[in-house]
Amino acid sequence: MTNDLDQIVMAKAQAWLDGDYDEATKAQVKYLIDNDKKELTESFYKDMEFGTAGLRGIMGVGSNRMNIYTVGTATQGLANYLKKTFEGEQVRVAVAHDSRNNSRLFAERVADIFASNGFQVYLFDDLRPVPELSFTIRELKLHSGVVITASHNPKEYNGYKAYWSDGAQVTPPHDKNIIEEVAKITHNSQVLTGQNPENITILDETFDKRYIDRIKNDIQLSPESVAKYHDMKIVYTPLHGAGVRLVPMALKEFGFSNVFVVPEQAVVDGNFPTVESPNPEERKTMLQAMELGRKEGADLVLATDPDADRIGVALRTGTGEYVLLNGNQTLALLLSYQLTRWAERGELDGNQYVIKTIVTSQMANAVAAHFGVKCYDCLTGFKYIAKIIRENEATAKYIGGGEESFGYLAGDYVRDKDAVSACALAAEAAAWAKDTMGLTLYEWLQQLYVKYGFYRESLVSLVRKGKEGAEEIQQIMVNYRTNPPKELAGSEVLIVRDYKSLEETNMRSGVVTPIDQDSSNVLQWITADGTIISVRPSGTEPKIKFYFGVKADLPSVEQFDDVQSQLEAKMLRIKMDLDLV
């Protein structure tokens, strides 16, 4: 190793060999030095950054990997900020984790550090859905919370999400202030451990009942329809994760009595042995559940990712096959169901609102406008949805909302996406559609397209791993800012929105207007025919994402297949124009 980076890497690796680290960690560092210089560089070339979404990365030894030491640094920094912010108070926090390898180890480390700092800690006895952690913070009126999870990332990953007293992931100014405190932790000796174990209270299954009861009390809209179709067949898979108990429990509490859980995927296992990726966005991940659905003749196939904040939905068509909805379609269905029932029950008085992110289908805006309900557009990330809910708490009522990445939240008792409640709501919507219209959810979705317009979306993710990949992603964004496309699929690009500079430019007139949002590294192009393309580097994965949204009129359900083919062809032309296929 000769260059400056190599010297930095070797110096940091040597510090781990010489420092106060356990022997197994030191042995692995020594192995990398002797046998795997590339992995050594990836593990030590930088310190894992505590970003605005917390931590997420590959597990292993090193300053740029998820391990008890990087988790410890993050927790001590968060603890120091909490002590400053709530000076003079007994700080109270909750800690939860998902099914990933090392999640329990990391969660216990977090609880130990918080307790050693004098905090009152509520630690769940086993894995729990992320939304239950959010609920716990609000229910017990805590100051903060942490959940150990890497959501739907591959099995090599783990992560760390920090939550604030409103039950939402931390937002400005707290996120930046926590980052500053974490950066001050430069040595293991600054991390407090092994003290005050009596400060840790274990939360067991009795607390789950409070969460499930709140879901039912706050969001159930059609108990009569559920009673009539309680034996509707539902297949559910937790994908080896944290929804394994709570989703069936919620469905039962809503009144459903005929739920089939995919047995092989009900095994809690951080290696996710039955899937390549534990991501319900991917059809191949859902194949086993859909096969059980076909076998049982299920009306509905549901899935949750490992931390049970994202929902996957597959609907049976008239031919008996299953269509896996994308997140935009799931949101459109759930939002349409909620607003329809609120209207039928006489509960819309002009003081309600819904929320979606800027990369999510405009169909949500159309549905909200039909019911005279305000629809907020916000940056990607549920913490921005939670921020809008917080800002409107005293003046207006939040009904529901979400984002295209398979996240939905009905009601405001939780402040993060909640697949437990979303599964229950989807099942209830299916029972209601069958009861009131004699339709399946898939048939109702087609009718909604006739009513509001046929919105069709697609996503392309370019994966670029490691240091070089991160640099390449940033260069792609620089190039697009310097030279945005002038035309896509034969339609002129009229508007360019840059959410980093917070400027919207009319490409014909040159007029620039400000964008009223927080700054984020996102570009958006809007063409003359209403097509919207968004480009965004992921904040949690080594990806840059391209979101495509097109629209056409759907004169009748009978023309569904033809119009869908036209929209798919149009998106393909756009991808070709951007050299993405």
Q: Dump pLDDT digits (tens) for 492-502.
A: 999 999 999 99
Assess contact for 48 and 55: CB atoms under 8 A: yes
Q: What is the mean pLDDT of residues 512-523?
A: 94
Contacts for 166 with CB less than 8 Å, ≥ 6 apart: 137, 138, 386, 390, 415
Amino acid at 539: G
Assess contact for 564 and 539: CB atoms under 8 A: no
- Does residue 531 have a pLDDT over 80? yes
Amino acid at 548: F
CB atoms within 10 A of CB 61: 26
Assess contact for 135 and 213: CB atoms under 8 A: no
Cα 27 to chain centroid, rounded: 36
The closest of 169, 188, 254, 244 to 430, measured between CA atoms, is 254
Is the backbone of residue 184 left (phi > 0), alpha (psi -120 to 50) or beta? alpha
Same domain, 372 and 473: no
pLDDT in tens, 398-414: 999 999 999 999 999 99
Assess contact for 306 and 246: CB atoms under 8 A: no
The closest of 145, 156, 177, 150 to 52, measured between CA atoms, is 177
pLDDT in tens, 343-373: 999 999 999 999 999 999 999 999 999 999 9
- Does residue 581 have a pLDDT over 90? no
Same domain, 288 and 377: yes
Residue ending a domain, among 163, 180, 203, is 203
- Of 116, 151, 336, 534, the active-site residue reads 151
Cα 199 to chain centroid, rounded: 31
Residue ending a domain, among 171, 188, 203, is 203
3-state secondary structure 518-578: CCCCCEEEEECCCCEEEEEECCCCCEEEEEEEEEECCCCHHHHHHHHHHHHHHHHHHHHHC
Same domain, 246 and 375: yes
- Does residue 170 have a pLDDT over 60? yes
Q: What is the CA radius of gyration of the chain?
A: 24
Same domain, 90 and 146: yes
Residue 151: active-site member: yes
Q: What is the mean pLDDT of residues 117-135?
A: 98
The closest of 479, 487, 522, 532 to 507, measured between CA atoms, is 487
The Cα 468–Cα 472 span in angstroms is: 6
Q: What is the mean pLDDT of residues 464-472?
A: 85
To the nearest whole number, what is the mean pLDDT of the chain?
95
- Does residue 333 have a pLDDT over 70? yes
- Three-state DSSP at 301 gives strand
498: CATH? 3.30.310
Q: How is residue 301 written in tokens?
A: 């196939």
Domain housing 15: 1-43
The Cα 219–Cα 231 span in angstroms is: 21
First-to-last alpha carbon distance for the chain, in angstroms, is 38
Confidence band for 1, pLDDT divided at 50, 70 and 90: very low
Q: What is the mean pLDDT of residues 217-236?
A: 98
The Cα 510–Cα 495 span in angstroms is: 10
Q: CA angle at residue 94 from 50 to 84, to 5 degrees?
A: 60
Beta strand 234-237 pairing with 300-304: parallel
Confidence band for 540, pLDDT divided at 50, 70 and 90: low
Element housing 399 (H / E) = strand 397-403
Assess contact for 238 and 264: CB atoms under 8 A: no
Confidence band for 538, pLDDT divided at 50, 70 and 90: confident
Same domain, 439 and 493: no
Phi, psi at residue 134, to the nearest 5°? -60, -45
Q: What is the mean pLDDT of residues 55-64?
A: 94
- Does residue 264 have a pLDDT over 70? yes
Amino acid at 418: D
- Three-state DSSP at 438 gives coil
Assess contact for 80 and 184: CB atoms under 8 A: yes
- Does residue 113 have a pLDDT over 70? yes
445: CATH? 3.40.120.10
Identify the bridge partners of residue 315 per DSSP, sorted by sequence position: 300, 323
Element housing 68 (H / E) = helix 68-85
Phi, psi at residue 314, to the nearest 5°? -120, 130
The per-residue pLDDT for 6 is: 85
Same domain, 60 and 20: no
Same domain, 469 and 516: yes
- Does residue 21 have a pLDDT over 50? yes
- Does residue 471 have a pLDDT over 80? yes
Same domain, 464 and 510: yes
CB atoms within 10 A of CB 160: 26
The Cα 569–Cα 581 span in angstroms is: 13
The closest of 37, 61, 66 to 49, measured between CA atoms, is 66
The Cα 272–Cα 521 span in angstroms is: 32
Same domain, 474 and 443: no
DSSP string, 441-505: HHHHHHHHHHHH-EEEEEEEEEE--HHHHHHHHHHHHHHHHHS--SEETTEEEEEEEETTTTEEE
- Does residue 468 have a pLDDT over 90? no
Q: Give me the number of domains the chain comprises.
A: 4
Same domain, 297 and 257: yes
Contacts for 287 with CB less than 8 Å, ≥ 6 apart: none
The closest of 226, 215, 208, 417 to 312, measured between CA atoms, is 417
Global pTM value: 0.94
The per-residue pLDDT for 48 is: 87
Same domain, 16 and 121: no
The per-residue pLDDT for 466 is: 80
Same domain, 373 and 289: yes
Residue ending a domain, among 203, 222, 242, is 203
- Does residue 2 have a pLDDT over 60? no
